[in-house]
Amino acid sequence: MYHDVVIAGFGGQGVLFIGNLLAEAGMDEGFHVTFMPAYGVEMRGGTANCNVIVSSEEVGSPITDSPLTGIIMNEASLMRFLPSIQKDGFLFYNSSLIPEEAVSRNDIQVVPVPANDLALKVGSAQVASLIILGCFIEWTQALRKESFPHALEEMISPKAREKFLPLNLAALEEGIRYAQELKQKGS
Amino acid sequence: MYHDVVIAGFGGQGVLFIGNLLAEAGMDEGFHVTFMPAYGVEMRGGTANCNVIVSSEEVGSPITDSPLTGIIMNEASLMRFLPSIQKDGFLFYNSSLIPEEAVSRNDIQVVPVPANDLALKVGSAQVASLIILGCFIEWTQALRKESFPHALEEMISPKAREKFLPLNLAALEEGIRYAQELKQKGS
Amino acid sequence: MKRKLVKGNEAVAMGAMDAGCKYYFGYPITPQNEIPEYLSQELPKIGGVFLQAESEIAAINMVLGAGASGVRAMTSSSSPGISLKQEGISYMAGSEVPGVIVNISRSSPGLGGISASQGDYWQAVKGGGHGDYHVIVLAPDSVQELYALTARAFDYADIYRNPVMVLGDAVLGQMKEPLLRELPPPMELPPKDWALTGRKGGRPQNVIKSLYLDDGELEKHIWKLVEKYERVKKETVLYETKEIEDADLILVAFGTAARICKTSQKMARDLGLRVGLIRPISLYPFPEEVLRSTSETTKKYLVVELNAGQMLEDVRLAVGPGAEVSFHGRPCGAGSLPKPNEILEKIKSVYGSFPKPTDMERGNSHETRV
Amino acid sequence: MKRKLVKGNEAVAMGAMDAGCKYYFGYPITPQNEIPEYLSQELPKIGGVFLQAESEIAAINMVLGAGASGVRAMTSSSSPGISLKQEGISYMAGSEVPGVIVNISRSSPGLGGISASQGDYWQAVKGGGHGDYHVIVLAPDSVQELYALTARAFDYADIYRNPVMVLGDAVLGQMKEPLLRELPPPMELPPKDWALTGRKGGRPQNVIKSLYLDDGELEKHIWKLVEKYERVKKETVLYETKEIEDADLILVAFGTAARICKTSQKMARDLGLRVGLIRPISLYPFPEEVLRSTSETTKKYLVVELNAGQMLEDVRLAVGPGAEVSFHGRPCGAGSLPKPNEILEKIKSVYGSFPKPTDMERGNSHETRV
Amino acid sequence: MKLVFDHPKSLKDTPSHFCPGCHHGLIQRLVAEAIDHYELQDTCIGVASVGCSVFMYNYFDVDVVEAPHGRAPAVATGVKRVHPDKIVFSIQGDGDLAAIGTAEIIHTANRGENITIIFVNNTTYGMTGGQMAPTTLLGQVTTTSPYGRDFQQDGYPIRMAEMLATLEGSAYVARVAVDKPANLMKAKKSIREAFRMQKEGMGFSFVEVLSSCPTDWKMSPGDACKRVEEEMIPYFPLGVYKEREIADHL
Amino acid sequence: MKLVFDHPKSLKDTPSHFCPGCHHGLIQRLVAEAIDHYELQDTCIGVASVGCSVFMYNYFDVDVVEAPHGRAPAVATGVKRVHPDKIVFSIQGDGDLAAIGTAEIIHTANRGENITIIFVNNTTYGMTGGQMAPTTLLGQVTTTSPYGRDFQQDGYPIRMAEMLATLEGSAYVARVAVDKPANLMKAKKSIREAFRMQKEGMGFSFVEVLSSCPTDWKMSPGDACKRVEEEMIPYFPLGVYKEREIADHL
Amino acid sequence: MAKVSIDRERCKGCHFCIEVCPKKIMVVEKRYNQKGYPPVEITDMEMCTGCALCAEMCPDVCIRVWR
Amino acid sequence: MAKVSIDRERCKGCHFCIEVCPKKIMVVEKRYNQKGYPPVEITDMEMCTGCALCAEMCPDVCIRVWR
Ligand SMILES: Cc1ncc(C[n+]2csc(CCOP(=O)(O)OP(=O)(O)O)c2C)c(N)n1
Ligand SMILES: Cc1ncc(C[n+]2csc(CCOP(=O)(O)OP(=O)(O)O)c2C)c(N)n1
Ligand code: SF4
Ligand code: SF4
Ligand code: SF4
Ligand code: SF4
Ligand code: SF4
Ligand code: SF4
Ligand SMILES: [Mg+2]
Ligand SMILES: [Mg+2]
């Protein structure tokens, strides 16, 4: 198993959070994982992105130039990362903010996720990233869904846990549900 | 021709001056010359010394560990440098300040020069070093006496020349004379 | 114990703390800021000292003072800041003060950039500061190693009374990987009876200095240091190898470059190419012996570095006269990390045809500098 | 013109002035103080600027500012002070600002001592500062060369837009020798249209910097620098040879060590030993070619340095695989200058019996470290 | 209708990299306005310091050289000694000027070097992500003073304008803020004055600008302005600390 | 008969390397007397700076570590943070403290680091042969100011005591001289006071001692003393510039 | 009569201009700009006095004023 | 009665002691010491008050005083 993912969006869209979560869950499943955030001056200008790799063998470079999957939260990031996704790879994009026309590739599986809308449904636009992550998990089956609740718990500080854990879990579930729905439509 | 000399004494005894002069004269005669002063913290504590090499071929190390000649102006310097003089080399020492007993080698030519006394005779204790240099020139014939007046002129600033040149020249002459006298006695 | 997902820089800080380092002196610089940030949180809790100095120079000299006082002390910085520490490092080596310096290096020269680079290899391994001395240099290639080697660095520093550098890079410092917070096995440490403590009930004074002015004194001191470095060379060589026994070609790389090469090496084996890998972990002392010994059977080496060719020279010096050494360099900067595939291509090209024995110099046709 | 008896440090100052350098920035340190002292006297007379900076760091950065402004500017110091300049030198190289740095080096590490040493070879030639860059390093061995090479250093700096170092030592700086104040032949210099002058009637801005953050930008910049260094290697190699044609053994030494070796070489010839000498004058670029070419006929090399073995590695890299390289080092400090005789003895011992082909490493029985 | 407020000529059209509401942008514009006011665009040379000010050359359409962190005053000295007739200036942050560059700023001021330094005091290391600076206020939480700056451990916030004003070599020393229009107008005047001083060869001129760093303070731009007013100005009083009347320096 | 004046116990018997009549010797003795007075020989740690003070370990019979040029305050900080219960001191020259070490001394003082610095101001770089220092007086001829220090070129002699006294972290700041018995007695008191301050945890204590360098001034020892009185004291006024009464710092 | 132009793509939504406008005629736009910031617009240009306070306080030099 | 001892080999001949002695009983010795400096001696120990000013001012700590 080797799955490398680029996750990108505005600062504040939870991009680093879900990247971390993905790595955390991968680790819990016993995989080799790396999480590599963009940092420093790269952060100025309000964008954020990171690379996550989950692999059954030791990971080489933690920076992935042609990831298998892109999880993209806004249009600027789509411009930047769409071309790099591997042929036959996956794109999960936030269709609440990104118009369909912007996605110009047909050699990859493209999964539009109205993440902001679904997030609002769950209770807060804040958790859009978890929606899209849930969708990724279900669609690719890269990791087991069961790993995420625990990973989430690890990542949220004990103080905030009570308040945020249920919301985050709900978002993840919603994402998973949405993916299942999509799949069914597709099949 | 290869002649290396160590010159040593108290600060203020003119040690660096005659070292320079020797090198200057050697240069004027077309030899390769080097002049290497002790410097820096080595100077603290009131001693001064330098190495001069005059050679018909390119000079290697300008620091000479076993010089052919030692020109020594005080007892402390004698202690330090006497052992290093080459077998069959020369020692010219200031017998006005250094007792004969202090000179403990008989494998070199030892030339006692009452430099301070002779200098006073010429007019000033200041020029003791030139007395002993004159003696060295005459005794070893390493360089031509004729080279020194001009070299001296080069070294004394035009302003001071009128005042000091005659005195210095007289001291040099007196040293030469004294060496001739010694030689005659010896022969 | 449980593995935790930890940032490389934090692993450095954890390794230091677990090794008993309670004194940190540093100055902000990307991409190593998580080290001071973590320690400024944690050290006060255990009665340690976190002090943000006015500059990198002040920081290394505080380490000198603290190390001379007998405790485990450290500083960390990145390339330009490490340049500023060179005088202090030379003083530490010259006066035999232990201490750990972490360089999470970035792209250079000058202000350069903040992405990963291995352009500081020479500075770390040869001569950053003035004079005949060496810094022991350890080059981790994972978060786990950042932790373990930082801890180990303190042991070496104490055993050899010498500064030890952990040389990471921006990728290693910034990435997260699982960390098992378990120390390497303990080493036996000499007593620090030379340390400053005040004369304590009148013992003779302890003096820590590097100035030697008497005839022959300094030379003697330096030969003593050289002897120590010979000991270091015998006792602290660290490296990792992969499938070198039957290798026709051996990749040589350290740190982040080695991680990438590990993937390429596997890809090559999958293609049936007999390719091995040697990863120097201690850069000084350089694992010459393993390279020399392999060169009895292996004739081809490919050095991969995130610079324009630095460790390359040490590889050339180490391998036997018959061996052919090629180079693949990507000298740093944003967007310049080589891909495993790119290195595989290079492996293929080198594996097949080879330069003639005399055609060994840098800059020949077998060097790609993309 | 007449020869004058001049101190090495003064010759440096004269060489700089005769080369048209009117801007000096420095900080006191033994054994190079006669350079600033001379220039503080002379520069004001010709409308130049002598400025004693608050530190070596300030001084190198003033040189950066002045060099960026299009004039010939310099600084000088000695070992510890040169360490402090490393960040600035890396910036100058990275932003391609010409300038001359003189290191009248002394004994190290740390405070060390003030006598001659060649312990800064690695710092000068490999990696003093951070990153992939090189400083052109010129190593005079006489007062005449201190003068001529300092002057030449300004040409190289301007031609390659790179810092150039003149690496002397305490012996060279302090001794007096006859100097013929005659410049080396002029070189063709490129226009300095990149320099800061204010935009002058609205030309596009000139920017001098080393920060490159866009993807691939910095790497491109570094390859450009590397290309420049390749040019430097072709165009600026300097060395002196003595009787190498028929030599069974070649001495390799630079600076003061070379002067001493010259005497030893002659002594050896007088004894009927076929001994030659190669004196690298440019240390970077290192005269690899001449060493390589001699190693087709000569099989034995003896490297002599006033350190514990630094240039030694470059010699080993340069000579062909068959050659045997021995080492004689006296790593500095008061009273530690080797004597011609001592080197002659070493020559004899090496000349007679020789190490086996594989026994090449440092520290073998053929290395004397008195 | 007349254009009464326009983009300064010496500032390029490039959008800045500064975070939303960062005062760096305001300060940069005021400097450009001063340059335009005295028509210095073609005779002035900027020195880029290392901090959020580093990209100066992307914005100012003048010759620029980049200095290592903290060394801008030394680099500026080198430039000015070569070009005594040019106007040389730098914009330095508080990490740059008051920490690593302490020796350089003090000695440059003390030499009376005829240059202009604009000092952006935002009580933190902005570019590197918000560490404690020498000017960080007591109790202020930063990434390296997680328990708040404590004078026993970290010392006191340093007042650079006051210190530099005591040096004989300084000609003009002022502290200003840009948190609201009234202060901004005074800042504009002071920055202009600093350039005038240099033009007239009066010696070292220095304007400290209390500045915000909403990103690293983790505040909205508006709240950050309030912090300047309520917390910074009381500790760092605004005003002109020194103003040389005649060029006694000459 | 009682021995009323003896060699201080914490000073070894080794003859010094100082030049005849150099005030370094006097200052060193006064420091040793203060150490003896408070019986600190076994609890104090010296930091040797680089200058004519460098051989400290040859004279003081206490633990000593050597710092690079200018960095003694940083090294002392490292020592003190490890040994808060020990007495840490350094003797620094004016090149060391007021030029290359400017940033270190200012920030060490500003942090209120609880150490003692004795500052030997002899208006020149003694050890390196008499170059211009930051404290060199206007008009003073040195080997690097052969035409006399000129404020336009070199700036003004810097007054460190005054500057450090302005910092909140400093507890005790004084300037004294040892050119004649009356001044020497005051110097003795100040140096003792500085150590007392440290003992009591008051924070950074600093005594600037106007000192002579007969060798590099090219003067007789006696004339050098006169120069201290006639030229230095007028520019560098003696006195206690700051004296913390209670350890508000604690 | 006065006129104010705002470069909405350059605006970073700090809203200093809104704060200082004495006429309180500046408001946050509903739509985000390309960079994801909420830019400002003027509700009632008639009321503008052309005082230029908004422009003076804009850190990103987005505003031009005519009077 | 007071006594003063001077370590003549340690003395560097700065003559500060001569300068400050209120009794003016210190003079330069005729002979140089081993290091070549002109040390001091006391002409009339009877007159010494043991004030120790000489010792206080001696940079080379050559003088001991009993009283
Ligand atoms: C020698 C060196 N040390 C550290 C750094 C890292 N660094 C970059 S910017 C900066 C300081 C930023 O703070 P400040 O000067 O206050 O400017 P601001 O960004 O707050 O305006 C630092 C420490 C560096 N580039 N070089
Ligand atoms: C980094 C560095 N720069 C320069 C020197 C040379 N140096 C030795 S002592 C000294 C200064 C001497 O002057 P000062 O500090 O005033 O002490 P003094 O001898 O006058 O008491 C200098 C510059 C050095 N050792 N290290
Ligand atoms: S980090 Fe702070 S100082 Fe830097 S641009 Fe952002 S707000 Fe401004
Ligand atoms: S050089 Fe000056 S300061 Fe140094 S010991 Fe001699 S007189 Fe004293
Ligand atoms: S001040 Fe400028 S950047 Fe801020 S909201 Fe108004 S127009 Fe936009
Ligand atoms: S010019 Fe004045 S009134 Fe008009 S919008 Fe701007 S601030 Fe408001
Ligand atoms: S003061 Fe001391 S050193 Fe000076 S002359 Fe008197 S005894 Fe000698
Ligand atoms: S003790 Fe007083 S009176 Fe006696 S010699 Fe000394 S100074 Fe003179
Ligand atoms: Mg700041
Ligand atoms: Mg001094």
The ranges assigned to domains in chain A are: 2-186
pLDDT of residue B76: 87
E-only strand ranges, chain B = 2-10, 32-37, 47-55, 69-72, 90-94, 109-113
pLDDT at D181 over 50: yes
Give contacts of F44 with chain C, Cβ < 8 Å: 198
Residue ranges covered by each domain of chain C: 3-198+223-235, 240-369
- H or E stretch including D84? helix D79-84
- H or E stretch including D348? helix D340-352
Ligand 7: nearest atom to the Cα of H26: 6
Residue A84 near residue A66 (C-beta atoms within 8 A)? yes
Tens digits of residue pLDDT in D20-44: 999 999 999 999 999 999 999 999 9
Of F41, F62, F78, the CB nearest to C65: F78
Contacts of F197 (CB under 8 A, 6+ apart): F116, F171, F172, F203, F205, F244
CATH number at residue F175: 3.40.50.970
pLDDT at B68 over 70: yes
Distances (CA, A) of A157 to A50, A153, A161, A163, E129: 21, 8, 6, 10, 22
Asked if residue E200 is part of any domain, the answer here is: yes
pLDDT at B170 over 90: yes
Asked if residue F122 is part of any domain, the answer here is: yes
Virtual torsion, Cα A20, A23, A27, A31, nearest 10 deg:
-170
Residue whose entry in the numeric block shows the structure tokens 């009983």: H25
Which residue, by CA, sits nearest to atom 5 of ligand 4?
F18
pLDDT of residue B45: 56
Give contacts of D44 with chain E, Cβ < 8 Å: none
pLDDT of residue A46: 67
Per-10-residue mean pLDDT, chain H, length 67: 94 96 96 86 96 98 97
pLDDT of residue D369: 36
Contacts of E44 (CB under 8 A, 6+ apart): D198, E35, E62, E63, E86, E87, E88, E89
Under an 8 A CB cutoff, do E127 and A41 touch?
A: yes
Percent of chain E with pLDDT over 70: 98
Closest CA to D302 of D261, D269, D255: D261
Backbone angles phi, psi at D148, to 5 degrees: -70, -40
Which of G28, G56, G60, G61 is the pocket-test mutation for ligand 5 (most atoms within 8 Å of CB)?
Answer: G60
Q: Distance between CA atoms of D363 and C289, rounded to whole angstroms? A: 14
Report whether residue F93 contacts ligand 2, using a CB cutoff of 6 Å.
yes
Distance of CA E20 to the CA centre of its chain: 19
Does residue C54 belong to the interface with chain E, where contact is any CB pair within 8 Å? yes
Of D80, D130, D212, the CB nearest to C130: D80
Asked if residue F33 is part of any domain, the answer here is: yes
In chain F, which residue's Cα lies nearest the Cα of E165?
F163
Q: Distance between CA atoms of B45 and B76, rounded to whole angstroms? A: 11
Distances (CA, A) of C180 to C147, C239, E124, E197, E212: 9, 21, 34, 61, 41
Distance of CA E124 to the CA centre of its chain: 14
Cα of C29 from ligand 9 centre, angstroms: 13
Please enumerate, as own/partner, the contacts of D187-192 that have beta carbons within 8 Å and a separation of 24 or more: D187/D155, D187/D159, D189/D155, D189/D158, D189/D159, D190/D158, D190/D159, D192/D70, D192/D158
Neighbours of chain H (3+ CB pairs under 8 A): B, F
Q: How many Å lie between the alpha carbon of A10 and the closest alpha carbon of chain G?
A: 8
Tens digits of residue pLDDT in E7-54: 999 999 999 999 999 999 999 999 999 999 999 999 999 999 999 999
Tens digits of residue pLDDT in F189-202: 999 999 999 999 99
Q: Which residue has the higher pLDDT, D274 or D127?
A: D274
Q: Which residues of H30-61 are buried (b: 16+ CB within 10 A; e: fewer)?
A: eeebebbbbbbbbeeeeebebbbbbbbbbbbb
pLDDT at A112 over 80: yes
| Sign, CA torsion E8/E12/E14/E16 | negative
pLDDT at D359 over 70: no
Q: Which residue has the higher pLDDT, F200 or B159?
A: F200
pLDDT of residue C362: 35
Domains and CATH numbers, chain H: 3-66 (3.30.70.20)
Tens digits of residue pLDDT in F75-134: 999 999 999 999 999 999 999 999 999 999 999 999 999 999 999 999 999 999 999 999
Most confidently predicted of A54-68, A128-142, B158-172: A128-142
pTM of the model: 0.97
Cα of E17 from ligand 5 centre, angstroms: 14
Which of E17, E26, E47, E50 is the pocket-test mutation for ligand 1 (most atoms within 8 Å of CB)?
Answer: E50
Report whether residue H40 contacts ligand 7, using a CB cutoff of 6 Å.
yes
Q: Distance between CA atoms of D73 and D50, rounded to whole angstroms? A: 10
Sequential pLDDT tens for chain C (370 residues): 789 999 999 999 999 999 999 999 999 999 999 999 999 999 999 999 999 999 999 999 999 999 999 999 999 999 999 999 999 999 999 999 999 999 999 999 999 999 999 999 999 999 899 999 999 999 999 999 999 999 999 999 999 999 999 999 999 999 999 999 999 999 999 999 999 999 988 899 999 999 999 989 999 999 999 999 999 999 999 999 999 999 999 999 999 999 999 999 999 999 999 999 999 999 999 999 999 999 999 999 999 999 999 999 999 999 988 899 999 999 977 888 999 999 999 999 999 854 443 433 333 333 433 3
* Chain F interface disruption, residue of B10, B39, B41, B42, most F CBs within 10 A: B41
For residue H17, give both structure tokens: 């002691």
Does residue F65 belong to the interface with chain B, where contact is any CB pair within 8 Å? no
| Domain hosting residue F35, numbered range | 24-243
Which residue, by CA, sits nearest to atom 3 of ligand 7?
H11
Does residue F62 belong to the interface with chain C, where contact is any CB pair within 8 Å? yes
How crowded is the C-beta side of D320, counted as CA atoms within 13 Å?
15
Q: Distance between CA atoms of E23 and E29, rounded to whole angstroms? A: 10
pLDDT of residue C320: 84
Domain B2-186 belongs in CATH node 1.10.3720.10: no
Asked if residue E10 is part of any domain, the answer here is: no
Q: What is the average per-residue pLDDT within F207-230?
A: 97
Secondary structure of C185-216 as H, E, C letters: CCCCCCCCCCCCCCCCCCCCCCEECCECCCCC
Q: What is the average per-residue pLDDT within D134-149?
A: 98
For residue A87, give both structure tokens: 């042929």
Q: Distance between CA atoms of D135 and D128, rounded to whole angstroms? A: 9
Q: Where do the H-state alpha helices sit in chain C? A: 8-18, 34-42, 56-68, 79-84, 86-94, 121-125, 143-160, 170-174, 217-235, 255-270, 288-294, 311-318, 340-352
Give contacts of B44 with chain F, Cβ < 8 Å: 17-19
Bridge partner residues of D26 (DSSP): D52
Which residue, by CA, sits nearest to atom 8 of ligand 4?
F22
| Sign, CA torsion F188/F193/F194/F198 | positive
Q: What one-character DSSP code corresponds to residue D43?
A: G
C-alpha angle C303/D222/C327, rounded to 5°? Answer: 15
Neighbours of chain E (3+ CB pairs under 8 A): A, C, D, F, G
D240-369 CATH, one of 3.30.360.10, 3.30.2010.30, 3.90.650.10, 3.40.50.920 = 3.40.50.920
Closest CA to D55 of E103, E73, F126: E103
Which residue, by CA, sits nearest to atom 4 of ligand 6?
G48
Asked if residue E249 is part of any domain, the answer here is: no
* Chain E interface disruption, residue of C41, C55, C78, most E CBs within 10 A: C55
Asked if residue E83 is part of any domain, the answer here is: yes
DSSP per-residue letters across C132-158: S---EEE---SHHHHHHHHHHHHHHHH
Identify the residues whose C-beta falls under 6 Å from ligand 3.
E 18-19, 22, 24, 52, 122, 126-127, 213-216
Low-confidence ranges of chain E (pLDDT < 70): 247-250
C3-198+223-235 CATH, one of 3.40.50.620, 3.40.50.970, 3.30.70.20, 3.30.70.260 = 3.40.50.970
Secondary structure of B164-178 as H, E, C letters: HHHHHHHHHHHHHHH
ipTM of the complex: 0.97
Backbone angles phi, psi at D59, to 5 degrees: -60, -50
Q: Distance between CA atoms of D286 and D316, rounded to whole angstroms? A: 12
Distances (CA, A) of D274 to D267, D342, E248: 11, 18, 72
The reply to whether C3-198+223-235 and C240-369 are identical in fold is yes
Residue A49 near residue A67 (C-beta atoms within 8 A)? no
Cα of D111 from ligand 10 centre, angstroms: 18
pLDDT at D136 over 60: yes
Mean pLDDT of chain B: 92
